[in-house]
Amino acid sequence: MALTPKGYATHSLQAEEKLNSKRKEKAWLPVIGMKLEISTPFLGVHRPFVGRCCQICTPRSWESLFHKHLLSLGFHNAIRVTEEDTRYRGWLVRRLCHFLAISNWKIPSSSPGDFEKKICHSKRVQDVMLQQVPQARGDSPILSQSPAGWRSEVLQVLSQVQAPISLLLVRLCSWALLKVLTRLFHNVLLHKGQVEMVRKAAQVPDVPLVFLSTHKSCLDGLLLPFLLFSQGLGVPRVTWEYQAFTPPLRALLSQLGGIFLPLEAEHVADRNQGALSRAVLTSYAEELLKSRQHLLIFLEKPFSSAPHLSAPGWDWLALVLGAFQAGAVPDVLLVPVGISYDMAPDVCFGSQASSARPLSFWSCLLPICRALGQGFGCVRVDFAQPFSLQEYVANNCSRQSCIRKSLEELLLPVVFGKRTSLMDCEKSEEGLLGLRAAVALKAEEQILVGRLGLHSLTAGVSCSAVTAVGIMSALLLHKHREGVFLSRLMSDFAWLTEEILLHQRDVAFSGQLRALVLHSLTLLRGCVSLHQLSLGDVLVAPQATEPAMRQLSLHGAALLPIFMAEAVGACAINALLVEMLPFLGPTALPADIILSQQELQEKTLVLVQLLPRDFLLLQPCQPAFCYCQDVLDKLIQCGLLVAEEASSERPACDTSRRRFSGELMWKETGEFSDDSDYDEDSGKRCFKISQLDNCFDFFLFLCSLLSPVLRTYERAAAFLAESCCPQPEPAYTEKLQGILLRKAREDGSFEGESVPLGAAWLDAKPPSDEGPETGHQTPECVNRSMAVSSVRTFKELGVLQELPTPAGPKLYLSESFSLRENQESLKKFIQQFIYC
C-alpha cells in the first residue's frame, strides 16, 4: 500500500490535536518580557526552515533575501499542472493543460548574438594565439595562418563546450519530461518560500545566479533545469561530463543548455592545444556570467554514499571564481541546492547507470520506459539561502590563518603510541587543492576554491530533506539487522523522525504514521522480507543479499550528516573504553566508568583529524576544536552522557557568578574566538555513560552509522601487507576495492584483536531480539568512494607516497610503514573507534 500524494499533503489528526493544545497553553502564558515560540516537531507539523547561509562567512547575506513570512508559504507540487496554470478553461484544456502551460512558460533571452565574436576577440584568447606564432618585422606578429584559420580553431573548441539553446527543443523536451515525471513520481515538492528567495536573488541587477547542487541521480541534470524553467527562472546552463555521453546524446544535451569541459583543457600547460582550450573555456565563463545566464554546477558525483567534491565541480567553481576575480561581474550569488529522492530510477538500474561506457540515447531511454509502470515515491528539491561570492571572498581573505600542520605531523605520533596535544593545531588544507589542470590557479587560489566548494557542499547537504525511505533504510541497516516487528518499527520510525526535526533538519513527508511506514516498505520491497505471524504482527527483516545491502546503505547514508557529531562522539567513547578495558575487573560496567572531558575531547579530535573534512561536512570556518566542543554538547543533549559531580564540588547547573579575578571575563583567543563558557576548570569535568533503557541501543546505532567508513579504513590498513607497490593510484584503488569486496563475501563477521566495550555491558544488558546487530561486514563498506577516500587519507598521513616515473606517478609504501609492526599499529589505531 503506497502513500498517495494527498496523504503527503495532510497531517495526522493526533498531531493536529497536539498543536491545538500547545496553542491553548500559549494563550495563558504570562508576559515576562520575552518572545516565546512553542512548537511541537512531530511528523511535519513544525518544519524548520533549512538552508540559511553561514553567519560567520557571509553575515550580510544572512540578513538579506529572507523574511519570516517565507516560513508559512508551504509547498508546491511542480509536476501537478492543471487548467488553472493556463490562460484557458474547458474540457479540452484539461486534456492539453501540460502542453498549454509549457508553451506559456517564459524563456529569457539566451546568449547574445555576438557571443562567439567576443570570445574570439577576448584578450586571453588573443594572447594565446600570439604566443603560438613566430614574430616578424619588429613588433607586429604575423600569424602562421589566416584569421579564418585560427578563428575556426577557437570555434571548434567552443563547440565542444556549448551550443546555442534550441527554444523549440527545450519546450518539447520539457513536455515529454513532465509526462515522464508524472508516471515516475507521486510528486516533486518545492518550498514556496525558498523559490521566492531565489526569485528575489534573480532580480538583483548585473549579478548572475550560480546553483551549486548535490548529485543523487543521473536525472538531476534534467530535473533541476525543468523546475527552474517552470518557476519562471529561465533555462540554466548545466555542467555535464564530456566523456560520460556519446556524441549524439552530447549534442542533444548541448541544445538543451548543457556545457562540457573540453578534453584538451586537462592537458598540461605546455601543450598548445591545451592552452587554447583553457583560454577559450575561461573566456566563455566570463562572457556567460556577463550575460547573466544562470549556471548549474554539480559539486559531487552520483552513486556516492559519502559527500566529496568532484574534480569537474572543482573546475567549474574555479572558473566562476576566476571570472569574478578578473572583474567580469561585480558579484555572483551562489545558491546551494539539495535533492532528495524516495527512490531514484537509476538506483534500480545501477549497473547500467554506473557503467564506464558512455551513455547513449537508447541506453538512457529504455530503462526509463521500463520504469514508467513502477512507482518511485516522491522527490524534494530545496534551495538554500543565496550568498554573495564577493562577501565570502572578502571575509575569507581577511581572516588570519592559524597554525596548520600536515596530517602526518598531527597523527603519526598518535598512531605510534606517543601522546601529543592537538588542541592548538589545524590540519593543513592539502586535500582542498585541485587535482586537474583544467584551470591554472595559484596554491592560495586553489585553497580558496576548495573552501568555497566545501562550504557550498555542506550547505547543499544540510538543506536536503530526509525521505521516509532513508529513515526506514537506516533503521533496518543500523538498528534492526536481524529483523523487527512492524509495531516496533513504527515506533522507531516516529522516534527517528522527531530526532531529525529536533536537529533542525526537515523531512520530505508528512501524514499518517502507518501509511508512511507502509509506503517506504513498498518502495523497498526488493530489499526486505515480510513474514505474517500468528500473533497478528508482521516481522520485517532486511534481505542479506549484496544488492539489497548496497541499496539500503545508499539510502540510509542520508542520515549520517544529521547525526555525524553524535556518531563521532560515540566512536570516541568506544575508543576510551577500549583503552580502559584491560584495567577493569570482570564485574565492571561501562556505566560505572568515569570519562574525563579532556581525554574525551582529545580522542574526538584525533578521529576528526583522521576523517576528511568533506566527509564530516566540517566547514572551513569552523575549527576542529570547536567542532569537538559541539560533539560533547550534543552527546550531553541527547542523553548519552551525564555529568559526574562530586559532593564537594559546585553542581554543573549552578549559574551563579564566579568571583572576579584580575583578568577580564572575556578574552580573544585568536582567529576563532570561542564565546562559550569554557574555562580552565572545564577540562577537569567528568562524565558517565547514561543508564537509560534506550541508551545502549542509541549508542550502537550511532557507532553503526560511522562504521562503514571506519571499516574501510581498517581493511585498507590490513591491505598494506598485501599490496604490490609501487603501482599507479587507479590500479591500487581498484585492487583495494576488490580486496574489500572479497573480504566482505568470505567473512561474515569482523574479527578484531580488541573488543570494544567488552562483554560486561552485554552481560548487564543483553540486546533484545529486535535489537541491533553490528558485527557483520556487509557490502556497504566496499563503496568505491570510500576506497578512494581511504587512499587519499593514507597519502596525507604519510603511509603512501607518490613516486614520479616516466609513465606517471606511482604509489609506494613509505619507509616507516614498510615495517609490519607499524602496519599493525595503524590497524589497531583505527580499530579502537569501531564497535564490533
Backbone torsion region of residue 259, taken as left when φ is above 0, otherwise alpha when ψ lies between -120 and 50, otherwise beta: beta
Give residues with Cβ within 8 angstroms of 791, minimum separation 6: 716, 729, 732, 733, 736, 800, 811
- Grid cell 564530456 — which residue? 242
Q: How far apart are CA 449 and CA 451, in angstroms?
A: 5
Q: Give 372 or 43, the one with higher predicted confidence.
A: 372
Domain membership of residue 316 (yes or no) is yes
- Comparing 258-267, 449-458, 498-507, the range with the smallest average pLDDT is 258-267
Q: Are 750 and 836 in contact (CB under 8 A)?
A: yes
Q: Give 129 or 774, the one with higher predicted confidence.
A: 129
Query: Of 379, 398, 417, which residue sits at a domain end?
Result: 398
For 395, 591, 671, the CA distances from 398, given in Å and listed in that order, are: 5, 47, 11
Q: Which domain holds residue 494?
A: 466-539
Q: Which of 611, 645, 650 has the alpha carbon at shortest distance from 631?
A: 611
Q: How far apart are CA 574 and CA 315, in angstroms?
A: 40
Cell (9 digits) for 459? 550547505
Tally the domains of the chain. Answer: 2
What percent of the chain stands above pLDDT 70? Answer: 77
Q: What is the pLDDT of residues 487-518, one digit of tens each?
A: 999 999 999 999 999 998 999 998 889 999 99
For the entire predicted model, the pTM comes to 0.84
Query: Of 364, 398, 432, which residue sits at a domain end?
Result: 398
The answer on 503 and 358 residing in a single domain is no
Residues 243-268 have a mean pLDDT of 84
The answer on 305 and 386 residing in a single domain is yes
- Grid cell 511542480 — which residue? 78
The answer on 194 and 86 residing in a single domain is yes
Q: What is the pLDDT of residue 361?
A: 83
- CB-based burial label for 740 (10 Å; 0-12, 13-18, 19+): buried
The answer on 351 and 473 residing in a single domain is no
Q: Are 244 and 370 in contact (CB under 8 A)?
A: no
For 12, 42, 144, 244, the CA distances from 17, given in Å and listed in that order, are: 9, 11, 81, 52
Instruction: Give the 3-state secondary structure of residue 702.
Output: helix
Q: How far apart are CA 99 and CA 178, in angstroms?
A: 10
- Comparing 141-150, 559-568, 788-797, the range with the smallest average pLDDT is 141-150
Query: Of 354, 370, 398, which residue sits at a domain end?
Result: 398
Confidence of residue 726 (pLDDT cuts 50, 70, 90): confident
Q: How far apart are CA 835 and CA 700, in angstroms?
A: 8
Domain membership of residue 94 (yes or no) is yes
Domain membership of residue 224 (yes or no) is yes
CATH number at 475 reads: 3.30.420
Q: Is the pLDDT of residue 415 over 70?
A: yes
Strand partners, 688: 642
The answer on 370 and 226 residing in a single domain is yes
Residue 227, phi then psi, degrees to nearest 5: -65, -40
Q: What is the pLDDT of residue 345?
A: 81
Domain membership of residue 403 (yes or no) is no
Q: Is the pLDDT of residue 412 over 80?
A: yes
The answer on 228 and 313 residing in a single domain is yes
DSSP string of 416-443, one letter each residue: TT-----TT-EE-SGGGS-SSSSS---H
pLDDT averaged over every residue in the chain: 79
Sheet bearing 484-485, strands edge to edge: 484-485, 538-542, 528-532
The answer on 300 and 153 residing in a single domain is yes
CATH number at 116 reads: 3.40.1130
Residues 550-579 have a mean pLDDT of 92
Q: What is the pLDDT of residue 68?
A: 77
Domain membership of residue 197 (yes or no) is yes
Give the helix/strand (H/E) hosting 95: helix 91-95
Q: What is the pLDDT of residue 689?
A: 86
Domain membership of residue 64 (yes or no) is yes
Q: Is the pLDDT of residue 445 over 90?
A: no
Q: Is the pLDDT of residue 5 over 50?
A: no
Beta-strand runs (E) in 454-537 = 484-485, 528-532
Read off the DSSP letter of residue 54. P
The answer on 486 and 358 residing in a single domain is no
Cell (9 digits) for 402? 592559524
Give residues with Cβ within 8 angstroms of 577, minimum separation 6: 590, 593, 756, 757, 758
Domain membership of residue 523 (yes or no) is yes
The answer on 472 and 390 residing in a single domain is no
Read off the DSSP letter of residue 507. B
Q: What is the pLDDT of residue 654?
A: 47
Domain membership of residue 15 (yes or no) is no
